[in-house]
A and B are shown apart, each in its own frame.
Chain A
Amino acid sequence: MSVLVVIECANGEVKKSSLEAASYGSKVASTLGTTATAVAIGDVQANALTSLGEQGITKVLLDNDSRLTNFVGAAYVKVIAAAAQQENSSVIIASNSNIGAAIGSRLAVQLGASLATNVVAYPEISGSSFKVRRGVFSGKAFSDVELTSDKKIILVKKNAVDIETSAGATANVENFSASLTDADFAAAPKETIKQSGDILLTEADLVVSGGRGLKGPENWHLIEDLAKALGAATACSKPVADVGWRPHHEHVGQTGITVSPNLYIAVGISGAIQHLAGVNSSKVIVVINKDPEAPFFKAADYGIVGDATEVVPKLIEAAKALDK
């Protein structure tokens, strides 16, 4: 019996959400009286993985088959299933990302495992009972779920747990290889188009978001400049993406991306229930709106009633004056 943590990497580095998953996995392992192993796939250097020891991981299995540089569901699942078998893993932990979800549901079928997605807290384990809390109704509620199979797969929501660090501890990195065949790459991407430069919305601790109150794309520099001054990612409401002021991958809400950053600043967004659904698990919410009756103020921790074109420049100035 052991705990296996799936590590996602980008640009040769371990993603922050995977550090959270590693912390989560180590804690579950120690509750179960076992150890946590990680499996990392694709384009990452071994030395970026040894520091996972700081999150309590003892061993990392690295499969850096060159065909695995891009995510391919079937192939990734095969590698993880092989790792789970080698390590005799009863609990598998991954991030609640697009990749995590694709892996989790396939593995759940292959292993006959219980799967819980969107998990927001450490499990309650007592005897044979294993219960997790997950976000449901687009962040409007939580549900406590018993995982009834012997094997369990948990996808941890981003920013739901703190990254535990014991400085200096190192993990052993071992090369690992599953016997992949061409058939495993039948649905491999033929082209990948990445945004460059910006901070990834799904990984961000701080988010500055704009709505229809910005009036048009020509005012978007207000959102971008504030985001830049704070080191934040940018987002938008649905109508803004629908009319094409901003790309669809920035649209947050019930039908867009769900975010749970430490700070969410909403500028010129009314706070419709569908928008709130995707952002209301943010730790601190700031609302800037010229309408004092905007519903968003009810969900906010801090608010400013005022015109975005007057308020945001003051914030940018104050943010630039912060010593980082």
Chain B
Amino acid sequence: MKFLVCISNVPDTTTKISFTPDGKDFNTAGVQFVINPYDEYALTRAIELKEALGGTVTVLNVGEADAEPNIRKALAIGADDAIRVNIKPTDAFLVSTQIAHYAKEGGYDLILMGRESIDYNGFQVHGMVGELLGIPTIAPAMKLDINGTTATVEREIEGGKEIIEAALPLVVSAQQPMTEPRIPNMRGIMTARTKPLQVVEAVGQDSKTQVQGYQLPPAKSGVKMIDAENAGDLIKLLRNEAKVL
């Protein structure tokens, strides 16, 4: 079984977001980058399935050289090899066309990724990759099992879940509680250094959107405190002042 796991390189979840003075770019100064948390679910589940069924896990990142420490981390967690498509990921369509191209070349049975990246929050790449490859996408998935050439997926729907059985190949996007993400151990870190990380060039660079600039939301004007003894007053304020009840 050949697994492809797409990972994106995102600011650590505790990052205070700021932008360059002209508002055109994210300010990366002092920011720690991590594997997108949703992608960690996908990666760990792929490694678990490989351990159970045999096969290989390839990780793929569309991004520049600064993503390599996190690609190595994915190898340390247990992926077998890695591909980095060398281009700045400016748009979901651009990322998806790169993934679809290399996924097709590699003939993977299952393409896994996170439901969305926590930076640009597109929630688009999995669907675009599926469509570009002409195979079904199941998103977002909370559970994934494989039996022969059939995948059983629990998909979240608003207010519940669905059980879907579908033939491979498939694109599946992951979210909690799919599995417990793994932390690399010393042995993993050592072996990751010798695993192949192939840098390939982008095929075209077709994007369909262009970021013009960023804004931070307006700051809150401050909190109004209510004495715990008279907690009931809050409800009146919510009705008469905030007008939300």
Residues of A within 8 A of B235 (CB): 315, 318-319, 321-322
Q: Is A245 an interface residue (CB 8 A)?
A: no
Given A136-B120, A188-B164: A304 touches B226 (CB 8 Å cut-off): yes
A248 to B154, CA, bound (A): 13
Q: Is A287 an interface residue (CB 8 A)?
A: yes
Q: Evaluate contact between A71 and B157: CB separation under 8 angstroms.
A: yes
Q: List 13 A-B contacts (CB under 8 A).
A: A109-B93, A116-B209, A133-B215, A141-B216, A187-B164, A191-B163, A194-B160, A255-B38, A255-B118, A256-B176, A311-B231, A318-B233, A318-B235
Q: Which 3 A-B pairs have the closest CB atoms?
A: A105-B127, A306-B228, A318-B232
Q: Evaluate contact between B136 and A74: CB separation under 8 angstroms.
A: yes
Which residue of chain B is the closest to A230 with respect to CB atoms? B245
- Return the CB mask of B145-182 against A: 1 if under 8 Å, else 0: 00000000001111111111111001000011100000
- Return the CB mask of A215-249 against B: 1 if under 8 Å, else 0: 00000000000000010000000000110000011
Q: How far is the CB of A322 from chain B (nearest CB, A)?
A: 6
Q: Is A73 an interface residue (CB 8 A)?
A: yes
Q: Evaluate contact between A263 and B244: CB separation under 8 angstroms.
A: yes
Residues of B within 8 A of A300 (CB): 220, 223
Residues of B within 8 A of A188 (CB): 164
Q: Evaluate contact between B160 and A137: CB separation under 8 angstroms.
A: no
Given A187-B138, A283-B244, A301-B223: A144 touches B160 (CB 8 Å cut-off): no
Q: Is B65 an interface residue (CB 8 A)?
A: no
Residue among A70, A73, A146, A254 with max Cβ neighbours from chain B (10 Å): A73
174-208 of chain B: CB within 8 A of chain A: 175-177, 207-208
Q: How far is the CB of A166 from chain B (nearest CB, A)?
A: 23
Given A145-B210, A248-B176: A304 touches B13 (CB 8 Å cut-off): no
Residue among B127, B140, B220 with max Cβ neighbours from chain A (10 Å): B127
Q: Evaluate contact between A286 and B234: CB separation under 8 angstroms.
A: yes
Q: Evaluate contact between A302 and B165: CB separation under 8 angstroms.
A: no
227-286 of chain A: CB within 8 A of chain B: 230, 241-242, 248-249, 251, 254-256, 262-263, 273-274, 277, 280-281, 283-284, 286
